[in-house]
């Protein structure tokens, strides 16, 4: 039978690989065990496995019996003996009224979810043990302060009592005594407050007193941590971060060490390198005479770790390096050991108890995209990791943050105030004062900046909806800062000049008055808050980004193309490293203001002659489009898709547009409206579109083919270098459709080459975007030189889910685990993937050198790209901004990630 509990610290040693397996003991538990083993100072403790959490959540506790009811007998036994390990190591006993052991109880899942789940500190205090603690510590004030913290935390986390009630009581107590800071409260005053806190707890529990039995306290806390896995905010966090719901959390029970034992004690959080920029400098904050939650809660503004950081910030309170040189030196030594051991940047929590350093946690540090790049490249240069590891270190999706514009350094800035540069990047948007409003306004397409005194896990949906986050309180490791960096949202924290009036929905920044809805801009790298919207500039693609991309290109097999239809997008995609066009949707060119009336004239024409007259007007326009695109893409493959959408999409809307069209065509409005009515379809997505248009109105495809070949010949004549046009026929389901249309394209190509006296290489192929096309791929390949998987329509038609209407139910479907992810974002590999695999195999069986690619949105999604690699596709195609993401994801796929 597997162990349910793993001890660490002291003389605990385990050869059981489960003791350091994150899926079993969680990230925190595994790292505590590892740190203890490499000789770092870790207070002893034990970890209850995630399996026990899942078991508990499945079977639950019977509320009608005592708290322990939900726990298996074996677990109760194992916890008791592991507690013995802590007691033996520290030489104190839980509940001992003379010299009590106190423990912390914390969650720790396999994948870290900062701030999402629950923690209880100082457990083991009651009316008796608090006296013992006062005696042995020689610090009565500390003992009673610890007890009131414990009551508040335990009541909140375990008993579900609103922590606001306790905060209010504390505020009133301070006001009564004319005190400003918690640190000014005396032992007596804390003692009085403890009595009040116990009364609050009892009142809220219908008269039942705050639990005094320390064993009951322990099991209550364990149960609360287990339950927190299923809390609403944890579920939302998992959904936003693609973390599975069936992993459970481990529970870490650890001997307490105290950062609040006077001025030689402290607590802090730190990173071994700067998580915002990736610079190689120790980074963090600490508070003297405080407990862990004080740093992250943003209640007191913490001090810097290093002298250099303090000076750079112009702060006057001493840094840890200055205030506690010995503990700081020890911390620096630990930092270096940790980086050597884990070969990655670490995010740690530590406590100094009366001058002695203790490590409470280490984990791989969350980082901005910019830092991720710099860390990967620097660590490879330092020899800490190799080039392949560097490639695998960077999350391709995180690159998105780097590819977007930043604030123009030369643009005028009306700076309202400056806070801490908590998460880099630029964001402009309307001020909103709460998370729900942020979500609502963002839902109607507005950019919003969430402005809060400080954020808490309840704000997570609003932070996600916002383009930027501004807080009045909190440091660089506050909740807002950590979460914003993880999400890639620019954030300015601790901007103390910001005063919020929630009731009036107003904001005061210094002497300036603003209201909800006013525009502001944040510069997350500088910590600046500006009025209005500040101009932006394009991103820098050289430096670390360029280096990592170069490495990625060396290690990838698949080509990366772009979906683009304007010369500008093509140029941008080329800068981002696109190696051709995977999809040029020609219909987008039809919407151009200068030509939409010719398009409408063509659609509403009564007969072929009428259509041809209109198409003659469009030919030079299309030729010009292709000419410009081919110039940018000289020498590269360009897949041009002939007209695809149903024609009614181009029809006039409203009387004014009909009147305009009547004036240009000479037809009456009534006539045009009648023709438009005739084009109505009940289900246009499955109607007269794609190659069906080419079969019924061949003159449309003829015009497009002519424009393509004329432009290709012209570019070749002008520059000596031709593109490789790949003419793509959409929505094919039979070999015969493609046979007819291929003949049409070849005839036009022959005509144009004859007229121009030159030839260019080209291919004719098709999209595979309907299930029948995938099934018949072997036959269709007889006519096709290439297949491009149109996985947008292939998903729509395989699932029978309309891509335009799915948003109403896809959210709940993903929440309930019916779909692991939105199938229009990440390919449904189990279902749609089978069709792709089959079509690729059947296509290759017919034509060994058939070119295979993907041009649906999935071509820019890392998980789908991995599937494309496994399927042996030749290339993926993504929108311009996704091209670097695809390059990196393709390299990671090649490296077998
Ligand atoms: C597709 O269906 O996957 C595709 C790329 O075409 P569109 O999105 O234009 O329908
Ligand atoms: Mg399509």
Question: What is the atom index within ligand 1 of the atom nearest the CA of 792?
Answer: 3
Helix H or strand E encompassing 307: helix 307-313
**Closest C-alpha residue for ligand 1 atom 8:** 792
Q: How far is CA 726 from CA 377, 565, 635, 742, 853, in A?
A: 38, 14, 12, 12, 12
Residues 788 and 765: their CA atoms lie apart, in Å, by 8
CA–centroid distance, residue 855 to ligand 1 (Å): 7
Question: What is the atom index within ligand 1 of the atom nearest the CA of 769?
Answer: 2
User: CB atoms < 10 A from the CB of 501, how many?
Assistant: 13
Give me the mean pLDDT over the 237-254 stretch. Answer: 90
Among all ligands shown, which has an atom nearest to the Cα of 877? 1
Question: What is the atom index within ligand 1 of the atom nearest the CA of 793?
Answer: 2
CA–centroid distance, residue 846 to ligand 2 (Å): 24
**Binding-site sequence positions:** 585, 641, 769, 790-793
Question: What is the atom index within ligand 1 of the atom nearest the CA of 855?
Answer: 5
Question: How sure is the predictor about 222, in pLDDT bands with cuts at 50, 70 and 90?
Answer: very high
Residues 528 and 416: their CA atoms lie apart, in Å, by 8
Q: Ligand 1, residues 769, 788, 832, 873: which to mutate, most atoms within 8 A of Cβ?
A: 769
Asked whether 95 lines ligand 1 (CB < 6 A), one says no
Among all ligands shown, which has an atom nearest to the Cα of 876? 1
Q: Ligand 1, residues 790, 804, 823: which to mutate, most atoms within 8 A of Cβ?
A: 790
Q: Among residues 853, 849, 679, 836, which one has the least CA distance to residue 766? A: 853
More confident residue, 300 or 336: 336
**Closest C-alpha residue for ligand 1 atom 7:** 792
**Considering the chain, what percentage of its residues have pLDDT values greater than 90?**
68
CB 266 within 8 A of CB 350: no
Fold entry, domain 586-763: TIM Barrel (3.20.20)
Asked whether 876 lines ligand 1 (CB < 6 A), one says no
Asked whether 587 lines ligand 1 (CB < 6 A), one says no
CB 218 within 8 A of CB 241: no
**Closest C-alpha residue for ligand 1 atom 6:** 790
**Binding-site sequence positions for substrate:** 585, 641, 769, 790-793
Q: Ligand 1, residues 587, 792, 827: which to mutate, most atoms within 8 A of Cβ?
A: 792
Asked whether 353 lines ligand 1 (CB < 6 A), one says no
Q: Which range among 62-76, 313-327, 710-724, 839-853 shows the weakest confidence by mean pLDDT?
A: 62-76
**Considering the chain, what percentage of its residues have pLDDT values greater than 70?**
97
DSSP string, 811-869: HHHHHTTSSSS-TTTS--TTTHHHHHHHHHHHHHHH-TT-EEEE-SGGGG-HHHHHHHH
Tens-place pLDDT, residues 644-692: 988 888 888 888 889 988 888 888 999 889 988 888 899 988 999 999 9
Tell me which architecture the domain covering 1-125+214-256 has in CATH. 2-Layer Sandwich (3.30)
Q: Which range among 17-21, 85-89, 177-181, 367-371 shows the weakest confidence by mean pLDDT?
A: 177-181
| pLDDT score of 63 | 41
CA–centroid distance, residue 700 to ligand 1 (Å): 20
Q: Which residue has the tokens 């360009």?
A: 638
Residues 521 and 427: their CA atoms lie apart, in Å, by 6
The residues of the chain that CATH labels 3.50.30.10 are 404-537
The sign of the CA dihedral 413, 416, 421, 422 is negative
The residues of the chain that CATH labels 3.20.20.60 are 556-562+769-897, 586-763
| pLDDT score of 65 | 42
Fold entry, domain 404-537: Glucose Oxidase; domain 1 (3.50.30)
Residues 392 and 385: their CA atoms lie apart, in Å, by 11
Q: Which range among 377-386, 417-426, 433-442, 625-634 shows the weakest confidence by mean pLDDT?
A: 417-426
Q: How far is CA 727 from CA 515, 641, 788, 849, 880, in A?
A: 54, 6, 11, 17, 21
CA–centroid distance, residue 685 to ligand 2 (Å): 9
| pLDDT score of 848 | 97
Question: What is the atom index within ligand 1 of the atom nearest the CA of 583?
Answer: 5
Asked whether 434 lines ligand 1 (CB < 6 A), one says no
Tens-place pLDDT, residues 192-212: 999 999 999 999 999 999 999
CA–centroid distance, residue 730 to ligand 1 (Å): 9
Q: Which range among 12-21, 468-477, 715-724, 823-832 shows the weakest confidence by mean pLDDT?
A: 468-477
Question: How sure is the predictor about 314, in pLDDT bands with cuts at 50, 70 and 90?
Answer: confident
Q: Is a pLDDT exceeding 50 seen at residue 577?
A: yes
Please check whether the domain covering 556-562+769-897 is classified as CATH 3.20.20.60: yes
Helix H or strand E encompassing 613: helix 608-632
Q: Ligand 1, residues 640, 826, 856, 861: which to mutate, most atoms within 8 A of Cβ?
A: 856
Give me the mean pLDDT over the 322-345 stretch. Answer: 96
Tens-place pLDDT, residues 723-768: 999 999 999 999 999 999 999 999 999 999 999 999 999 999 999 9
Q: Ligand 1, residues 561, 585, 693, 860: which to mutate, most atoms within 8 A of Cβ?
A: 585
Q: How many C-alpha atoms does 23 have within 13 Å on its Cβ side?
A: 6
Asked whether 791 lines ligand 1 (CB < 6 A), one says yes
| Mean of per-residue pLDDT scores for the chain | 91
| pLDDT score of 60 | 65
361 beta partners? 349
Give the SS3 label for residue 241.
coil
Residues 619 and 708: their CA atoms lie apart, in Å, by 10
Asked whether 856 lines ligand 1 (CB < 6 A), one says yes
**Closest C-alpha residue for ligand 1 atom 9:** 585
Among all ligands shown, which has an atom nearest to the Cα of 788? 1
Among all ligands shown, which has an atom nearest to the Cα of 792? 1
Question: What is the atom index within ligand 1 of the atom nearest the CA of 789?
Answer: 3
CA–centroid distance, residue 641 to ligand 1 (Å): 10
The residues of the chain that CATH labels 1.20.80.30 are 127-212
CATH of 266-367, one of 3.30.470.20, 3.90.550.10, 3.20.20.450, 3.40.50.300: 3.30.470.20
Asked whether 433 lines ligand 1 (CB < 6 A), one says no
CA–centroid distance, residue 781 to ligand 1 (Å): 20
DSSP string, 741-754: HHHHHHHHHHHHHH
Residues 643 and 587: their CA atoms lie apart, in Å, by 6
User: CB atoms < 10 A from the CB of 445, how many?
Assistant: 6
Tell me which architecture the domain covering 127-212 has in CATH. Up-down Bundle (1.20)
Tens-place pLDDT, residues 473-522: 877 767 788 778 767 789 998 898 999 998 899 999 988 999 999 999 99
Helix H or strand E encompassing 766: strand 763-768
Q: Among residues 151, 141, 5, which one has the least CA distance to residue 76? A: 5
Name, in order, each residue with C-beta under 8 angstroms of 610's C-beta and a sequence gap of 6 or more. 601, 602
| pLDDT score of 298 | 59
More confident residue, 99 or 72: 99
Q: Among residues 712, 855, 861, 842, which one has the least CA distance to residue 792? A: 855
Question: How sure is the predictor about 533, in pLDDT bands with cuts at 50, 70 and 90?
Answer: very high
Buried b (16+ CB within 10 A) or exposed e, 204-240: beeeeebbeebbebbbbbbbbbbbbbeeebbebbbbe
Question: What is the atom index within ligand 1 of the atom nearest the CA of 791?
Answer: 3
Tens-place pLDDT, residues 57-81: 887 654 434 444 546 788 889 999 9
Asked whether 645 lines ligand 1 (CB < 6 A), one says no
Active site residues: 479, 855
Give me the mean pLDDT over the 815-842 stretch. Answer: 93
CA–centroid distance, residue 796 to ligand 2 (Å): 9
What count of residues does the chain have?
A: 897
Which two tokens mark 839?
Answer: 């079509």
CA–centroid distance, residue 786 to ligand 1 (Å): 16
Give the SS3 label for residue 360.
strand
């Amino acid at each position: 039978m597997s162990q349910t509990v793993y001890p660490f610290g002291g003389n605990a040693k385990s050869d059981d690989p489960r003791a350091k397996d994150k899926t079993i003991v969680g990230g925190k538990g595994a790292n505590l065990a590892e740190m203890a083993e490499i000789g770092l100072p870790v207070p002893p403790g034990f970890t209850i496995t995630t399996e026990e959490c899942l078991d508990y959540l499945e079977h639950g506790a019977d509320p009608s019996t005592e708290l322990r009811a939900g726990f298996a007998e074996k677990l109760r036994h194992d916890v008791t003996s592991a507690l013995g390990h802590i007691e033996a190591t520290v030489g104190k006993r839980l509940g001992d009224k003379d010299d009590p052991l106190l423990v912390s109880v914390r969650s720790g899942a396999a994948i870290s979810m900062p701030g999402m789940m629950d923690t209880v500190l100082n457990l083991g205090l009651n009316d008796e043990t608090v006296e013992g603690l006062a005696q042995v510590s020689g610090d009565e004030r500390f003992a009673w302060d610890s007890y009131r913290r414990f009551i508040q935390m335990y009541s909140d986390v375990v008993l579900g009592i609103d922590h606001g009630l306790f905060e209010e009581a504390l505020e009133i107590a301070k006001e009564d005594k004319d005190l400003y800071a918690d640190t000014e409260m005396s032992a007596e005053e804390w003692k009085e407050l403890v009595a009040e806190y116990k009364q609050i707890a009892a009142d809220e529990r219908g008269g039942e007193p705050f639990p005094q039995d320390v064993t009951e306290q322990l099991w209550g806390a364990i149960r609360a941590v287990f339950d927190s896995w299923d809390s609403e905010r944890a579920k939302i966090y998992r959904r936003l971060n693609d973390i599975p719901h069936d992993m459970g959390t481990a529970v870490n029970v650890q001997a307490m060490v105290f950062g609040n034992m006077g001025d030689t004690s402290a607590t802090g959080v730190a990173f071994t390198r700067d998580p915002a920029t990736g610079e190689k400098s120790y980074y963090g904050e600490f508070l003297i005479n405080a407990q862990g939650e004080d740093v992250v809660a943003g209640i007191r503004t913490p001090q810097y770790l290093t002298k250099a950081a303090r000076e750079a910030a112009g702060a006057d309170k001493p840094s840890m390096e200055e205030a506690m040189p010995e503990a700081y030196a020890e911390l620096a030594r630990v930092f270096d050991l940790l980086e050597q051991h884990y070969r990655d940047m670490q995010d740690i929590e530590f406590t100094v108890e009366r001058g002695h350093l203790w490590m409470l946690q280490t984990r791989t540090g969350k980082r901005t995209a910019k830092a991720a790049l710099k860390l990967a490249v620097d660590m490879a240069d330092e020899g800490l990791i190799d080039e392949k590891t560097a490639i695998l270190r960077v999350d391709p999706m995180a690159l998105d943050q780097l590819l977007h514009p930043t604030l123009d350094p030369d643009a005028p800035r009306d700076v309202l105030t400056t806070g801490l540069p908590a998460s880099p990047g630029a964001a402009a948007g309307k001020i909103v004062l709460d998370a729900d409003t942020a979500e609502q306004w963002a839902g109607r397409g507005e950019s919003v900046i969430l402005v809060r005194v400080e954020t808490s896990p309840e704000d997570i949906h609003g932070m996600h909806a916002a383009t930027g986050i501004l807080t009045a309180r909190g440091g660089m490791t506050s909740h807002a800062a950590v979460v914003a960096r993880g999400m890639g949202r620019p954030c300015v924290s601790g901007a103390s000049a910001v005063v919020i009036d929630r009731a009036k929905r107003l904001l005061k920044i210094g002497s300036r008055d603003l209201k909800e809805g006013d525009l502001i801009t944040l510069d997350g790298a500088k910590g600046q808050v500006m009025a209005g919207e500040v101009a932006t500039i394009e991103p820098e693609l050289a430096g670390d980004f360029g280096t990592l991309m170069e490495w990625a290109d060396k290690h990838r097999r698949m080509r990366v193309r772009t979906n683009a239809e304007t010369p500008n997008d093509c140029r941008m995609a080329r800068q981002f490293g696109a190696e051709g066009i995977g999809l040029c949707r020609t219909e987008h060119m039809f919407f151009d203001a200068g030509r939409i009336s010719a398009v409408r004239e063509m659609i509403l024409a009564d007969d072929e002659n009428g259509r041809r007259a209109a198409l003659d007007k469009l030919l030079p326009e299309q030729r010009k489009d292709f000419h410009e695109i081919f110039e940018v893409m000289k020498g590269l493959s360009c897949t041009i898709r002939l007209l695809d959408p149903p024609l009614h999409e181009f029809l006039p809307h409203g009387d004014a547009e009909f009147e305009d069209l009547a004036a240009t065509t000479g037809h009456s409005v009534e006539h045009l409206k009648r023709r438009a009515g005739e084009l109505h379809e009940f289900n246009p997505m499955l109607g007269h579109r794609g190659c069906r248009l080419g079969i019924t109105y061949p003159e449309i495809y003829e015009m497009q083919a002519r424009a393509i070949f004329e432009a290709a010949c012209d570019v070749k004549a002008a520059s000596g270098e031709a593109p490789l046009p790949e003419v793509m026929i959409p929505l094919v389901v039979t070999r015969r459709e493609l046979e007819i249309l291929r003949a049409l394209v070849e005839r036009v190509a022959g005509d144009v080459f004859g007229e121009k006296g030159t030839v260019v290489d080209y291919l004719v192929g098709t999209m595979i975007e309907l299930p029948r096309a995938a099934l018949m791929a072997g036959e269709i390949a007889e006519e096709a030189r290439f297949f491009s998987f149109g996985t947008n329509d292939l998903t729509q038609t395989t699932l029978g889910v309309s891509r335009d209407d799915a948003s109403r139910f896809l959210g709940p479907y993903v929440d309930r685990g019916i779909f692991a992810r939105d199938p229009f974002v990440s390919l449904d590999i189990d279902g749609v993937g089978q069709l792709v695999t089959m079509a690729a195999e059947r296509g290759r069986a017919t034509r060994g050198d058939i070119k295979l690619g993907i041009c649906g949105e999935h071509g820019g999604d890392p998980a789908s790209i991995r599937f494309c690699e496994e399927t042996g596709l030749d290339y993926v195609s993504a929108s311009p901004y996704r091209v670097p993401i695809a390059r990196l994801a393709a390299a990671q796929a090649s490296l077998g990630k």
